[in-house]
Structure 1
Amino acid sequence: MTFKVLLQYILPHRFLSRLVYWGTRWTFAPWKNWLISTIVRNYDVDMAEAAQPDPLAYQHFNAFFTRKLKPGARQADGDPAALLSPADGRISQAGKIVDGRIFQAKGQEYTAAELLGDDASAAPYRNGRFVTVYLSPRDYHRVHMPLAGTLRETVHVPGRIFSVAPFAVEAIPRLFARNERLVCHFESPRGPFVVVMVGAILVSSVATVWDGLVIPPYASSIRRKSFAGQNITLERFAEMARFNMGSTVILLLPETLAELDGLAPQQAVKVGQRLGVCTREN
Structure 2
Amino acid sequence: MSKPLFRLLTELSSRKWVSQLTGAFAKSRASRALIPRFAKTYGIRIEEAEKHIGDYASLNDFFTRRLKPGLRPILSEPNAVLSPVDALITGMGTIQQGMLLGVKGQDYTIDDLLNRSPRTINYKNGFYFVLYLSPTDYHRIHAPITGEILEKEHVPGKVYPVNDFGLRFMTRVLSRNERLITFIQHEAAEVAVVKVGALNVSSIQYVEPLPHHLEKGQELAYFEFGSTVVLLLEENTFNPRTDLSVGSKVRVGEELGVFIH
Q: Normalized against structure 2, the TM-score is what?
A: 0.93
Change (3 A) 1:104 1:55: farther
CA distance in 1, matches of 2:14, 2:221: 26
Match of 1:36 in 2: 35
Q: CA deviation at 1:241?
A: 0.6
Q: Does 1:91 align with 2:89?
A: yes
Residue 261 of structure 1, aligned match among 223, 237, 241: 241
Partner of 2:59: 61
Q: Note closer, same or farther for the CA distance 1:12–1:93 as it changes in structure 2 (3 Å cut).
A: closer
**1:17 maps to amino acid:** S
Question: What's the CA shift for 1:191?
Answer: 1.9
Report the equivalent of 2:114: 116
Q: Which residue of 29, 39, 45 corresponds with 1:27? A: 29
Which letter maps to 1:67? R
Measured after TM superposition, the shift of residue 82 of structure 1 is: 1.8
Cα offset for 1:119? Answer: 5.2
The residue number in structure 1 matching 2:228 is: 248
- Counterpart of 1:159? 157
Cα distance per residue 1:31-54 (max 9 Å; x no partner): 422x212221111101111111x2
Q: Structure 1 residues 211, 181: CA separation in 2 closer, same or farther (over 3 Å shift)?
A: farther
Match of 1:271 in 2: 252
Q: Give the Cα separation in 1 of the matches to 2:78 and 2:152.
A: 26
Structure 2 contact 22–202 (Cα < 8 Å) conserved: no
Structure 1 position 211, deviation (Å): 5.6
Equivalent pairs, count: 258
CA pair 68-12 structure 1, distance change in 2 beyond 3 A: closer
Which residue is equivalent to 1:172? 170
Structure 1 counterpart SS, 2:41: helix
CA RMSD of aligned residues (A): 1.6
Partner amino acid for 2:201? V
2:27–2:59 CA contact under 8 A, matched in 1: yes
Choose which of 207, 212, 215 in structure 2 pairs with 1:232.
Answer: 212
- The 3 A distance-change label for structure 1 pair 78 and 149 is closer
Matches of 1:2 and 1:44, distance apart in 2: 30
Distance 1:108 1:6, change over 3 A: same
Point out where structure 2 has 5 or more consecutive residues left out of the alignment. Answer: none
8 Å CA contact retained: 1:94, 1:129: yes
State the shift of 1:172 in Å: 1.7
Q: TM-score, normalised by structure 1?
A: 0.87
Are the counterparts in 2 of residues 104 and 174 from structure 1 also a CA contact under 8 Å? no
| CA contact 1:93–1:103 (8 Å) conserved in 2 | no
Amino acid across the alignment from 1:37 = P
Tell me the amino acid that sits aligned with residue 261 of structure 1: R
Aligned-partner Cα distance in 2 for 1:265–1:170: 14
Where do 1:126-145 residues align within 5 Å? 126-145=124-143
Give the Cα separation in 2 of the matches to 1:247 and 1:95: 20
* Residue pair 1:113, 1:121 contacting (<8 A) in 2 also: no
Cα deviation for residue 261 of structure 1 reads 1.5
Which segments of 5 or more consecutive residues in structure 1 lack a partner in the other structure?
A: 213-230
Classify the secondary structure of the residue corresponding to 1:265.
coil
Matched residue type, 2:32: K
In the alignment, the residues of structure 2 paired with residue 106 and residue 176 of structure 1 have an alpha-carbon distance, to the nearest angstrom, of: 11
